[in-house]
A and B are shown apart, each in its own frame.
Chain A
């Protein structure tokens, strides 16, 4: 419990420091001005969300292989946190898009594949509510989670493979891409802060799932008597 409190406090401090750096340390971008500061929050959330889905994918594979319920708990925890982070991406993106593009939304490759990703993980969580038997629920949702992860590389590469409304990548975008060195430091710090926050939320959600399993066991014992 003590370690979880420390992790939570570190996550909050890092997120506050990242917001401060985004507003007061990073220089103002020439064309978009202050609006570009959404980038540090929006892209950091997107990267942490994709990494949460990667963790879910690994946990799903490990569950299918080893059938240990700990991997099921980790899978559902990281899927839920990934979904929350992707929700933040889908909210902050249109807030940025309206003043920048003049529209909140367009069905381009990056936006559509991200929305599909969100729907896939909503389906993953809904699927779990439909199956009563714990082992069957864990196996079917792990198989669905492995399938759902296919969309993550599609989201990542969509702005590299197709030129549409969403800007081309400024990080790992090849020749001609890149950020001002101070912007880059602030961005990497924001990514770190969002990953620590995601780790904290995954740990908290994991403990909840562990307790839910304990309740299921106690219920079965109570019913058997």
Chain B
């Protein structure tokens, strides 16, 4: 497990490097053609040609969401060690590393070195909630954190000293690339379903033993804003794709919107 955590970021950086070289070399590749996979802004993917005539992703022209994956395993790394046996133990399981997404504005790197280095911002004495001077953009409901209904606070998930890591129940480090290990601490039922492949998302080969890319928790869920106001939904709102074209001769869709007030 520790090995994996060491390697994770290196592989990611390697991949990022390769991607940027590829996009610089390809003349047809435009610069601003990023799409999002599940969470707008936090699961971005750069559209590029992976084989002649084959794009890595095909995106919706209206919402910028990915529609098709030319290669479902592009930019992925092995899922790494998991403590409990499941499908991922018997077949090739890959995930898209989260660290590059979180660190895309060098947030993770700078935070851990510039501020949370143990000196400038001292290590907190306890886990009790206190007014945050920063990070209100990331955690909009910081003082009444909805996540956990007041029972948890930053350092129940984040490592007190090493800000590039999450923690398990015993204070051991968890990589940002394996958030399931952290989330599973409380969300056991969902975690079980996820391991069984019936919660969350996988793409690739459906067959038993086939290679699959597993979506990890934070690719879809935002742990810092779990209720989105009062919607109480685990998934942030999105712009929908356009409605179907109305049948010929129909000028609007009022027929399906009225509650029959006129009829009665």
Check if A and B associate.
Answer: no
Residues on B lying within 8 angstroms of A by beta carbon are none
Binding site for B on A (CB under 8 A): none
